A and B are shown apart, each in its own frame.
Chain A
Amino acid sequence: MRTLFVALLACASSQVFAFDVNPFLSALGQELRITCKATDSEACLALCGESSECRIEEPSCRSCAGTQNLWMKRVLDQVGLSLRARGAPISDAQFLELLKVGSWISLHEKSLYNYSSVFNGALIKEQFDRACAEVGGVDGILLIKTHPVTHVPEEIMGMICSEALTHDAHLYLFPESENRLSAIYKRRPLPASSDRR
């Protein structure tokens, strides 16, 4: 999976797109909505075949909804502290590729998996804003990689931050080698599963 992911990133072009990313709660659960500007409709076309907006339904997150999930609690506690967007974002094309092929869920102020503080409350809002402050962004969204079959959250991928004025979204990865805290929050991988379904 990791090899495939790296290969995709390497192949991705360095084209610049402009699009918003916003979290929503749909009838089925969490989803991310990618809204492309009229001039950049090819980004959405590439992502989902629609020209203006893509809705990406998130898969379930195994045992994430509950007060007992200590990993999720720890991650949420660290948003805005050790978990902050830093450095340069990855290219928009890479970002789109990652959204398209990866198995992930999002954490944000309206996340269903927040059992640590009040839903959409002042504390969590402040945390996710602070998470993007260093790169001059707002409305942080944390992306967490999940196991494609078991849906167990496995690793923090990065922080999506929106530019304050244009709302253009960018993804700041937490590479293991550069960010000590992403290493802390990386869980050990599960035993490899054979092909199923």
Chain B
Amino acid sequence: MQSFRKSIFLILMITGIPLRSSAESRKPLIFENRAACALDSKLPADSALLIVDSYNAGKLVDSWLKGLEPNISANMNTEKGLRYFRLAVTEMFMTLASEILNGRLPLISSDDEIIKRCQGQTPCPEMEMKLDQVFQAWTQISAVPNVPLQGASVSCLYLRKFSEFQAPWNRDRPDQSVLQKLAQDTLNSKDLVSECFDESESLSSRRFALQFDLNGQDPRWWSQHGFDFWFSLKLYFSYSWRNPTYILGETHPLLGLFRSLAVEQMMSLVSNTCKSIEKPVCTESQTALEVYRLIARAGAPADLDHPFSRGADQALLAQAVPVYHEDVAVLPEGQEAGVWLKSYQDQILKNRGFLKQKLLSAVSLFELMKSALPVEDLQKGLLTLRSQIQDHPLLYKKMQVLCSEDSLAFHPLFGVMEKKLEGVVSDKSFEMLFDSISNQQLRDLVSYGVNVGKMIEPLCEQIKVEQLWAKGKEPEAADLSAWYRDLMGNGDSGSNDFFGLGNLFNQDAMGLPAVLSQERSTDSGTEKSTVCSDVSDCGRLILKTLVDLNSISTWTSALTPMKEWIQSPSLANPWATEQACKLYDPWYATHRAFVAMVGDLFTTTVTGIAPIPAYLAIDLKPSTVTGFQPEPLAGDVLLHPNLQRGGVSYSLGIDLGPWTGIPCAAIVSPNAIGANTNGFYTLGGVRAEACMAQNSHRLTVTGASDSNANPNAQRSSCLMCYLNPYSTARSLSMLGTTPVPLLRLAAGVVFSGVSLIKKLSDPVDVPRRFTVDPAKVAATFQKYSFIPKHCVRRLIHGHSCRWAWLTADERKHEPVEE
């Protein structure tokens, strides 16, 4: 074990490459609110977690040991094999990352011409050839300059437990208790983390999480090249894993075994902050990756659980933009990392398994049916059944169910399947997956299914015309397929019902042998199993398989990717995809506050000069996404949001009270549904409080942070007059005294400023970041034995707290002697 590591370490030490693997220093933690987190998703991450499930490596080593000849002593066991795997992964990542940062391995951009030509296909021979050249050059170390790029280095930690160091995943503003725990965690970090290359048996290698931190890089350089760094690291890792002698040397004992692993599917590299590993782009694969965060949030319902998939983009549209990190909280602090990893990875496994089963079943069925049951044969069979439905009550019911389902799927006016299936056949990543398991064309199989569906529809219409159905007698819900019930909102359509074809499926209605059977392997031989009992069952099975194909194609790019590529779902940032798809605008609240201020200042000017209190209230309405326009792009599908522009709404109001003595105000709102008083009454300075009370039951003012509101596009104008007794009182007083424009002007300006500050202090939608240096927090804790309240503000802005004003309660604490 040591030998292959020693070799690479020796090289690294001689050449002075900064390779760090220690818990000695901690980067400052950045806590961000929704808006800041969304904004940061466009920047490259400088800290990442590698989450690994080593099951496949364990099974490989275990099988190998069981099958190994007795006379070969492998000096190995499965646990040891897993440890070798963990250390090999660590070794590869650390070496490659360091070599990229030192300029010995070149940065490769995702915009590279060869990458584009490969169109997401892996392995891509042209790319492999380029990587061969890169690594051959790399072996001649002296030929490549050793110039560290911007002084950057990488460090690595093995996470034993999740702690407050992962707190930014869950919180936007750290409070006293968070700082307190962070200080304790900093001082007891040995319980939480280990050295990455720790070979101790007590560390789990079955499931593990490594944290990679980039240190010392020039921020400007990093913002330009950070994404290329992660891209190159993944690309080089995939290559090196299959050509392991470059990194692990010739002597690694499990070299021959490990290189056959589908290693990318055993791990994901996720950002440890709001920043990203891959630049978020609104694509189908990006929206599908959201499923991982939903999985991480145990029990969250996902489109994946529905028998009829609406699509990842629709799932994204349907879900509300989460307000806080807690809405998607994923990392439980204080828990053994392995416990969370187990539940997360088990969920992924379960969903993947379900999807794989569905896919394999769909492919086998279509292949079988297309060759055994041509559309014409099915048609003939159905015509025969039609003539017998009056004589066989069960057949009647079965045909009725078939017709109901086919009508929902392929009715010329309201059928839901045809358009969905067009999307399925144009999905390149799904086609790649399909091609990998069948040499039949996806398009041909789907077209076979569509032809069957379209053939059934007129036949059912004819039955209706002939009035063969009893009037008012609908099929029982339990007899219908799960996808039908799901689509009709008829509950109880969960994914547990794998076949989901209802009670009547494959019930023998005519006492005839099954139309289609197939052989299956069992421990004792083979057995015949019925595929479909009569042609109505076959028809329903084909419809269900089409529905499954649609559902599978939605999620395969995320859950069963064909690409040999380590995935990077944005687990710590629930707003990355929302921002990329324009479902969330992190600048909206800020812009809205400034636009409102313009209105306030205008009103201030008018009321300051004239004795008539008039106001202009301007409000910025958020744009909303009504759907997505797909555009195929390099093996993926780009989603262009259909934006309904928000625009600006404004209300012009005049309070007639001071002028006419009539307790009335006129408000004109040409493009808003209700009159907007945004700041009018409060702008009234001394009159504010009284008028606010009147205001409360008259008008609804949308809060600045309420960007989830989906304003109706309908526009109207209104002219309002309402009783305002305070206005009358004010008018009398105003008419009887000399107005003081300058004072009013000053008060108005002050109020505009106060109003702006209030709006900009929105805790959620105005970007806000807090930087906490664990070392400074720990120092404060050591000084006082707790974190004083007075220190919180300073610490969350990255400052030290050398002196604190202690509250009476706090003074009771015994300070720790230094």
Interchain CA distance A66-B62 in the complex, whole Å: 13
Q: Which of A5-13, A37-45, A90-98, A183-191 contacts B (4 or more CB under 8 A)?
A: A183-191
For B72, give the chain A residue with the smallest CB separation: A27
A196: interface (CB < 8 Å): yes
Q: How far, in angstroms, from A149 to B123 measured CA to CA in the complex?
A: 10
Q: Tell me whether A24 is interfacial, beta carbon within 8 Å.
A: yes
Contact indicator per residue, chain B 231-246, by CB within 8 Å of chain A (1) or not (0): 0000000000010000
List B contacts of A67 (CB < 8 A): 55-56, 349, 352-353
Given contacts A66-B265, A80-B521, A81-B526, are A150 and B259 in contact (CB under 8 A)? no
Q: Which of A79, A123, A194 contacts B523 (CB 8 A)?
A: A123
Q: Are A81 and B260 neighbours in the complex by a CB distance under 8 Å? A: no
Contact B66 A126 (CB under 8 A): no
Smallest distance from the beta carbon of B234 to chain A beta carbons, Å? 15
A2 at the interface (CB under 8 A from B): no
Q: Does B487 sit within 8 A of A, measured CB to CB?
A: no
Query: What mask results when residues 257 to 295 of chain B are scored 1 for a CB within 8 Å of chain A, else 0?
Result: 101111111100000000000000000000000000000
Inside 8 A of B560's CB, which chain A residues have their CB?
Answer: 68, 70
B443 → chain A, closest Cβ, in Å?
14
A184 close to B438 (CB less than 8 A): yes
Q: Tell me how far the C-beta of A97 lies from the nearest C-beta in chain B, rounded to whole angstroms.
A: 25
Q: In the complex the two chains form, is A187's CB within 8 Å of B260's CB?
A: no
Most chain B CB neighbours (cut-off 10 Å) among A66, A69, A190: A66
Contact with B along A140-183 (1 / 0, CB 8 A): 00000000011110000000000000000000000000001001
Q: Given A25-B68, A184-B439, answer yes or no on A69-B262 (Cβ-Cβ < 8 Å).
A: yes
Interface centre among A70, A74, A196, A197 (most CB of B within 10 A): A70
Which chain B residue shows the least CB distance to A195?
Answer: B129
For B364, what are the chain A residues with a Cβ–Cβ distance below 8 Å? 74
Contact: B256 with A63, CB < 8 Å?
no
Closest-CB distance, A86 to chain B (whole angstroms): 15
Enumerate chain B residues within 8 angstroms of A127, measured Cβ to Cβ: 521
A119 touches B524 (CB 8 A): no
Known: A25-B68, A66-B266, A68-B352. A112 touches B261 (CB 8 A): no
Q: B125, A61: Cβ atoms under 8 Å?
A: no
Interface size on A, residues (CB 8 A): 54
**Would you call A66 and B262 a contact (CB within 8 A)?**
yes
A residues within 8 A CB of B520? 81
Complex interface residues of chain A between 40 and 91 (CB less than 8 A to chain B): 60-71, 73-74, 77, 79-81
A113 touches B262 (CB 8 A): no
Residues of A within 8 A of B113 (CB): none
| CB-based contact A112/B521 at 8 Å | no
Residues of B within 8 A of A74 (CB): 360, 363-364, 437
Is A120 positioned at the interface, with any CB of B under 8 Å from its CB?
A: yes
In the complex, which residue of chain B has the Cβ closest to the Cβ of A110? B67
Q: Judge whether B436 and A65 touch: CB under 8 Å.
A: no
Contacts of A113 in B (CB 8 A): 260
B523 — which chain A residues lie within 8 A by C-beta?
122-123, 126
B356 within 8 A of partner (CB):
yes
Contact of A130 among B128, B260, B437, B526 (CB under 8 A): B526
Which residues of chain B are near A70, meaning CB under 8 Å? 356, 359-360, 433, 436-437, 560
B772-812 residues at the A interface, CB under 8 angstroms: none
Q: Distance (Å) between the CB of A182 and the closest chain B CB?
A: 10
The B369-423 residues at the A interface (CB cut-off 8 A) are 371
Contact, CB under 8 Å: B439 / A126: no
Q: Taking the complex as formed, is B367 at the interface, i.e. its CB lies under 8 A from any CB of chain A?
A: yes
Tell me whether B360 and A65 are in contact (CB under 8 A).
no
In the complex with contacts A113-B260, A119-B62, A196-B129 CB distance below 8 A: yes
| Interface flag for A193 (CB, 8 Å) | yes
Report if A3 contacts B (CB, 8 A): no
Please determine whether A29 and B522 come into contact, CB atoms closer than 8 angstroms.
no
Q: Contacts of A80 on B, CB cut-off 8 Å? A: 521, 526
Q: Are B69 and A60 in contact (CB under 8 A)?
A: no
For residue A35, CB closer than 8 A to chain B, the reply is no
Most A CB contacts (10 A, CB to CB) among B60, B126, B263, B435 go to: B60
Q: Give the complex CA separation of A126 and B664 in angstroms.
A: 92
Which B residues are in CB contact (< 8 Å) with A65? Answer: 56, 59-60, 257, 260-262
Q: How far is the CA of A79 from the CA of B519 in the complex (A)?
A: 12
Q: Produce 1/0 per residue, A15-34, CB < 8 A to B.
A: 00000000011111100000
**Which B residues from 430 to 485 make CB contacts under 8 A with A?**
433, 435-440
User: A63 vs B433: C-alpha distance in the bound complex, in angstroms?
Assistant: 14
Known interface pairs A60-B242, A126-B521. Does A112 touch B437 (Cβ–Cβ under 8 Å)?
A: no
Q: Which of B128, B256, B440, B519 contacts A81 (CB 8 A)?
A: B519
Residues of B within 8 A of A185 (CB): 439
Question: Shortest beta-carbon distance, B312 to chain A, in Å?
Answer: 20
Give the CA-CA distance A152 to B260 in the complex, in Å.
Answer: 10
Q: Which residues of A contact B259 (CB under 8 A)?
A: 60
Known: A68-B265, A70-B436. A193 touches B66 (CB 8 A): no
Query: Would you list 5 pairs from A and B whose C-beta atoms are within 8 A, ordered by A residue?
Result: A27-B72, A65-B261, A70-B360, A71-B437, A186-B439
B residues in contact (CB < 8 Å) with A: 55-56, 59-60, 62-64, 66-69, 72, 74, 123-126, 128-129, 132, 242, 253, 255-257, 259-266, 349, 352-353, 356, 359-360, 363-364, 367, 371, 433, 435-440, 519-526, 560, 564
Q: Which 7 A-B pairs have the closest CB atoms?
A: A66-B262, A193-B125, A28-B256, A63-B262, A25-B67, A29-B256, A119-B63
Known pairs A63-B265, A74-B364, A194-B129 / 7 extra A-B pairs, C-beta < 8 Å: A63-B261, A70-B360, A120-B66, A127-B521, A130-B525, A151-B242, A184-B367
